[in-house]
A and B are shown apart, each in its own frame.
Chain A
Amino acid sequence: MSANYEPNIVAFLCNWCSYAGADLAGTSRVSYPANIQIIRVMCSGRVNPLYVMNALQQGADGVLVSGCHPGDCHYMEGNYYARRRLGMLKDLMEFVGVDPKRFHMSWVSASEGHKWKEVVEKTVEDAKEAGPFEGFRRRQIDW
């Protein structure tokens, strides 16, 4: 791993809170690392665990899933399901030997532009520590 290694991170953001939060970070001119590739989903409960696996297989070094705070979900309970499922996925990946630093989940509301920055910084920092995830690549993909 070279000294100026930059990880690729895929972030699944829910349309109603985290995506708006990231948008707010942008309009507020908050600067955060540019390693994040954002994919907007309607709800964090929509994130299938296989999306996470596929992202890692196709070249991501880290994955972030972010949704509304518990109780704030636009669909009432989607983030509760996400928390349960992705919590299990994190346990499972850890057991199989995927560094837990590669997968993060966070709650970012539409008004938390600054929290979004912190979350991204932490995710990127962790992914840098974990290094490139070459072992799991489907094939060589140039980003």
Chain B
Amino acid sequence: MDLELLRKTAAEVAARDDVKYLLGWKQGTYGYRVAPAFVEDAAGAAELIFSPLCTANLATYLTLVEQLPVPRGEEPDNRKVALMVKGCDSRAVTQLLVEKGIERDEVVVIGCPCPGVVDSALLAEKYPETEEPAEMKWDGEDFLLTRNGEETKIPRDELLAEKCRLCRYPNPVVSDEMLGDPVETWEPGEDKGVEEVEARDVDSRWEYWMEEFDKCVRCYSCRNVCPLCYCQDCILDRLNPTWVNRSVNFSENTAFNIARAFHLAGRCIECGECERVCPANIPLGKINRKLARDVRDKYGFEPGVDPEAEPFQASYKPDDPEDFIL
């Protein structure tokens, strides 16, 4: 990734009259942290980076921003939001377009072809975090890590995030400006995590998930970080009727996790953010990927690819599979 080109393009876009701000990634304050940057001018654009550490899906911020009521006599600010996206993030944008969560003329999408990001938990485990901000680069087939002034070459397979190993869309599917040439796609490979759970029998699957869901502290980070969980009136916050009770116990945790996963069936674009932010390390990605795969295989539907598509759960085909019906 050519940082010069990125910063130049970002500065140009941020300077446009019809753009409110540009969302990108910048160096965090310590270690491997990467912070989201809200860029409004050229000075901000000079801080932007794009590296294997830029795991965050910025599409979340499109719907997360609070919509305050406009004071009387003032015009609403209808300027666009510019957004830097990786391949997976661009699918989130597309899915938001499909669901009319955003309109196409409300965003400027700057596509960053992405050769795959790191698994931040794995990285911190293998190469302990430093107080000094560390840098990382793509270097051919490897990652090049610079921390405390020394460079380490790490093979790509060692640290590549699971979602990237299985990625089928490393290049943005929607973009107004593309930074650099598209990267070569790679063979997604077997989804071992899901297959391993599927190979068990029903009772042992229940045991497995019982153990995982028992850890859930119901912080709802997975919901908050998800670019596609943007209902203003979420069932999890509702008390009347109480769809999902708030008590933290196995029964409610399971109901919550099933509800969360179900609400993303046919919508999840597999950016893996829920799993990354989970403080209890629940493998939420497994459930999402399993559902996404079922939707793909059984219903021939893939979310976040075609902006003209009908939403999965709000459409049907007369010949949908019905082998489960008595």
Contact = CB atoms under 8 A, between A and B. Distances in A.
* Chain B residues touching A, range: 35 or more
A40 B128 CA distance: 59
B320 interface: yes
Contact of B324 (A85, A90, A96, A123): A90
A135 B206 contact: yes
Contacts of B1: none
A84 B318 CA distance: 10
B68 interface: no
Given A50-B235, A84-B316, A106-B325, 7 more contacts: A49-B262, A88-B266, A91-B291, A92-B265, A92-B287, A105-B324, A138-B251
- Which of B210, B317, B326 has the most chain A CB within a 10 Å cutoff? B326
A142 B299 CA distance: 41
Contacts of A119: 326
A138 B205 CA distance: 20
B294 A88 contact: yes
A127 B316 CA distance: 29
A78 to B, nearest CB: 10
B97 interface: no
A104 B326 contact: yes
Contact of B251 (A57, A81, A97): A57
B259 interface: yes
A107 B325 contact: yes
B76 interface: no
B209 A57 contact: no
30 contacts: A49-B262, A50-B243, A57-B251, A57-B252, A57-B255, A70-B322, A71-B318, A77-B316, A80-B320, A84-B299, A84-B313, A85-B313, A87-B321, A87-B322, A88-B295, A88-B313, A89-B262, A91-B294, A91-B298, A92-B265, A92-B290, A95-B205, A97-B202, A97-B208, A97-B210, A122-B326, A123-B326, A135-B210, A138-B245, A138-B251
